A = this chain, B = another copy of it.
Amino acid sequence: MRDLYNESEHAGHALAEMARLVGQALSQATEALLETDLRLAETVISGDRAIDALYREMDVQAPGSLAEQQPVASDLRALLTSLRMSADLERMGDLARHIATVARMRFPDCAVPDELRDTFAQMGEIGVQLSNRLARIIETRDVTAANTLDAQDDTVDRLHRGVFAALLSAEDKYPMQTAIDVTLLSRYYERFADHAVSVAHRVENLGTGEPWDDQP
């Protein structure tokens, strides 16, 4: 398989670091949401800047450092893949921030009704696991774990559909604000998992030159 990190070990470190940071952000955002922790919500919101900075740094530095090496097509493809990965990870940070923003907006109330707490706790936990697995996949280039990520993504999709089913079966029970918040929150968790899987498959496909079709 094409070795991205020989070209740019720095890029590999930055991507793994981003994966860990977005996992931490999602963990804190979920706690902020379910425990109505305003300070933690604000930590996630302001902390997203560090993730954005890593993304921008890769965009600015990678082309320059590669140009010094008279790159061939496979180098360029590896560059492109690493930058597609950084875009996914940056977006995962945004989604964690969106969750924290909803938590902050509803404080001191909890945006999530009691009956759905477990579902959101699970979606959060799986998202964090996905991020940490991803960091290891990026570092070790061992993509055997990618299948596990697919299975976990399926679980998040199932939980996401379960949120809608719960809203629909509780007709008139929840206020409209709760319906809106919960719909968007569930979508954020679902997209977070999608992007995680997308990054894992990009690592997997680094060797083939085939781009991963990432957009469900």
Contacts and interface: CB of A to CB of B under 8 A. Distances in A.
- Mostly, the A contact residues are helix
Given A76-B79, A171-B175, A175-B171, A211 B59 contact: yes
Interface in A158-193: 164, 167-168, 170-172, 174-177, 179-180, 183-184, 187
Give the bracket for the number of chain A residues in contact with chain B: 35 or more
Nearest to A164: B180
Copies in the complex: 2
Contact of A70 (B64, B70, B80, B164): B70
Contacts of A59: 80, 84, 211
10 contacts: A52-B213, A52-B215, A55-B211, A60-B211, A66-B73, A67-B73, A79-B80, A94-B216, A168-B180, A170-B176
